[in-house]
Amino acid sequence: MSSDLWLKVALQRPFALEAELRCAEGELLALLGPSGSGKSTILRLIAGLQYPQSGSIKLGNNTWFDQQVRLTPQQRRVGYVPQNYGLFPHMSALNNVAAGLHHLPRDAQNHQARQWLERVHLSDYAKRKPAELSGGQQQRVALARALAADPSILLLDEPFSALDSITRESLYIQLAELKAGLNIPIILVTHDLNEASMLADRIALIDNGSILQSGAPDHVIRQPASRRVAELVGLHNILRSELVARTESTVTLKLGQCLLNLPITQAVGPGSHDYLYWILPTNALEVVGQDQTATLHGSINKILRLGNLARLFVRVDGASEVFQLQVAGHHHFEVGQVLAFKLDTSQAHILPAV
């Protein structure tokens, strides 16, 4: 029997939220969005720590919430890791993990807790209290406690946000290893796109209480459904260009003095629009010599040094548009310098007209 999570809820207080999502058993779904967008609220609704005004929440054939049913967190058997890990400061790591196993005899509690400490590589730290553990170790204790009680779903609320980058990397590996042996839905709240792309099978992008787009991370990044999605996933070159012509599969846009034929990957709205927004990935641009065949020419407005890389801000000749690209830092460029570019139009993405 499938144990997929299905959620369709609406909330008006303390802020408006309307969300519909699914997370399959064995799948890791990342809820991605800026602070205050509603990510943690959705997690609390799933956990039963908060109830929506309307809608339904189901796991497989079991209803957790609707107009007649309101199961408690205990009835839902949720494994929940909050941002601050929620460990009991006066208890050892072993007792923290055993804290959710009261339904078992004492010996069985300790045995199962030790097994989970071993799975998160903390067997040698069983007697230590949270204050005697590093942030990464505390996070692993919290994860072991959430999983020890054999939950029906695992909810992770920005569990890596307070950790340094080296510790985060090791915990990403730890979570990936654990995920391979879990056949339950896993939902991760994060505001870090790289984290979501690395860990998640799918992402759901949330902004201002609404889910804007969901899908495989690579698909959402390469084919955002709106300009706002493109902004939230950090795409820099969101251009507005005059629509010159269109067919069923292509559009012709004017960029400066150039006419560009770009493929259509999704509906772009009715043909009456004079302008379209489109995405130009930075890796679709290549600087070429002035004597080579070039698609575009432009002058450098600004240069930012970013470690071993340099980010160039280039204004297209004859246009107001400025696009960005990254180049190796050892190349020498100057503000005002005119460059020629070859453009891989197959990587461009037309945004739906709004």
End-to-end CA distance of the chain: 42
Round to whole Å and give the CA distance between 217 and 197: 5
On whether the CB atoms of residues 46 and 7 are closer than 8 A, the answer is yes
Query: Has residue 271 got a pLDDT over 60?
Result: no
pLDDT in tens, 161-173: 878 888 888 888 8
**pLDDT at res. 284:** 85
Q: What letter would DSSP give residue 205?
A: E
pLDDT in tens, 110-134: 899 999 999 999 999 999 999 999 9
Query: Has residue 313 got a pLDDT over 70?
Result: yes
Looking at every residue in the chain, the average pLDDT score rounds to 89
DSSP-derived 3-state class of residue 133? coil
On whether the CB atoms of residues 51 and 29 are closer than 8 A, the answer is no
Q: Can you tell me the mean pLDDT for 246-251? A: 85
For every residue of 255-306, which 3-state class applies, written as one string?
A: ECCEEEEEECCCCCCCCCCCEEEEECCHHHEEEECCCCCCCEEEEEEEEEEE
CATH numbers and ranges of domains, the chain: 5-232 (3.40.50.300), 238-350 (2.40.50.140)
Round to whole Å and give the CA distance between 265 and 276: 14
* pTM for the predicted model, two decimal places: 0.88
How crowded is residue 192: how many other Cβ atoms within 10 Å of its Cβ?
Answer: 15
The identity of residue 112, as a single letter, is: Q
pLDDT in tens, 333-345: 889 998 888 888 8
55-72 in b/e form (b: 16+ CB < 10 A) is bebbbeeeebbeeeeebe
Residues 6 or more apart from 162 whose CB is under 8 A from it? Answer: 83, 135
Q: Can you tell me the mean pLDDT for 229-251? A: 88
Q: Can you tell me the mean pLDDT for 46-60? A: 95
